[in-house]
Amino acid sequence: MTPLKKARTNRGWRLTDVVERLRAIGEDTDTGNLSRVERGVQRPSATLAEQLCKVFEGELTELHILYPERFPGDGSVKQVA
């Protein structure tokens, strides 16, 4: 489980909850895009990573979001080329 997914599930939030919070601070994304980022299948932009840090109030760093493979957790993170 990636740090982003772990942070989201620990708070009891759905993907749509995170998307709504992102939109409230001016970041336009959708649940599909966020899901791919959360699973480590797609790298987010630096801006999205920064905004996610704001949404999670500093619980995550940009490194957690941009390079989830460096924080293996249960080992289920896929490598992104």
* pLDDT tens-place values along the chain, 81 residues long: 999 999 999 999 999 999 999 999 999 999 999 999 999 899 999 999 999 999 999 999 999 999 999 988 654 444 444
- Tell me the C-alpha distance between 66 and 27, whole Å: 16
pLDDT at residue 56 in the model:
97
* SS3 of residue 22 by DSSP: helix
pLDDT at residue 16 in the model:
97
pLDDT at residue 72 in the model:
80
Residue the block writes with tokens 């840090």: 53
pTM, 2 dp: 0.85
- Tell me the C-alpha distance between 62 and 68, whole Å: 10
Topology annotation, domain 3-70: 434 Repressor (Amino-terminal Domain) (1.10.260)
